[in-house]
Amino acid sequence: VDAGALFNPQFLPPRQWINPIRGLTPARAVQLIEAGQFGYKADLMWTYAATERKEPVLRALKDRRLSAIKKLQWTIRVKDSYRERHENDPFIQDTVEEQKQILEDVYESVDNLTDALRWMALATFRGFAHLEKHVDEDGMMFHLEPVPQWYWSFSYPIRDWLFNPQAMQTNSGARIEPDAFVIRECEDPLDEIALIIFLRKNLSKKDWDMFVETFGVPSIFAVCADPNMRS
């Protein structure tokens, strides 16, 4: 583990006991989304993660995406156009192959490359994803630590990613060195759409359950006619 890393995955956030789905309404969801546009990300990301666990279709999409990435193989490739342009220059060809081998060695030294790529795929759902680079004493990267989205916020109006170690609902935090992270962003995350759909469906089911609980329970009283009585 890199002793100088900002994020320690062993510590759980103080919000661990909060259930963001309980009492959630469409108005509250819109409020969270709007606050997220100004850098208040923690509550929104916590809600997104809970929705991914509760919404069957969204959960299936997420599982399929992550499982597909897990099966992929990676390789370092040189652009064909570059090879063709310098095919008669043996010095450049040797240099390219040397750089290609160095990159392969760097990526092979990362102990969780596949898991890191799967984490980056969550940006499609949540809007962004961060990996913190862990380096050894020689400055070589050996690990990419996923940092959950609720630990992040950003400043406004000049947007800089800020690390929020307590996962609080704020747009302040510690400034980071961008070169120490791998960051992927998505302007139109799936969870923003899925959250509203989930709430509409969930609230409709809740209303139906309340109706059934009130009017759908059979009465325990019965009126029985005396068989000896004649009409």
Average pLDDT score over residue span 118-124: 96
Residue 172: which pLDDT band, with cuts at 50, 70 and 90? very high
- Looking at residue 94, its pLDDT comes to 84
Distance in angstroms (rounded) separating the CA atoms of residues 212 and 88: 79
Q: Convert 86-108 to b/e letters by CB count within 10 Å (16 or more is b).
A: eeeeeeeeeebeeeeeeeeeeee
- Looking at residue 111, its pLDDT comes to 92
Distance in angstroms (rounded) separating the CA atoms of residues 17 and 59: 22
Look up residue 93 and give its two tokens: 């060809």
- Looking at residue 219, its pLDDT comes to 60
Considering 4-8, 34-38, 102-106, the range whose residues carry the highest mean pLDDT is 34-38
pTM for the whole thing? 0.81
User: Judging by beta carbons within 10 Å of its beta carbon (0-12, 13-18, 19+), is residue 211 exposed, middle or buried?
Assistant: exposed
Q: Which residues touch 29 (CB under 8 Å, ≥6 apart)? A: 47, 195, 196, 199
Chain-wide mean pLDDT for the chain?
87
pLDDT tens, residue by residue, 34-88:
999 999 999 999 999 999 999 999 999 999 999 999 998 888 888 888 777 777 8
Phi, psi of 36 (to 5 degrees): -60, -25
Is residue 42 a contact partner of residue 164, using CB atoms and an 8 Å limit? yes
Distance in angstroms (rounded) separating the CA atoms of residues 134 and 116: 12
- Looking at residue 220, its pLDDT comes to 63
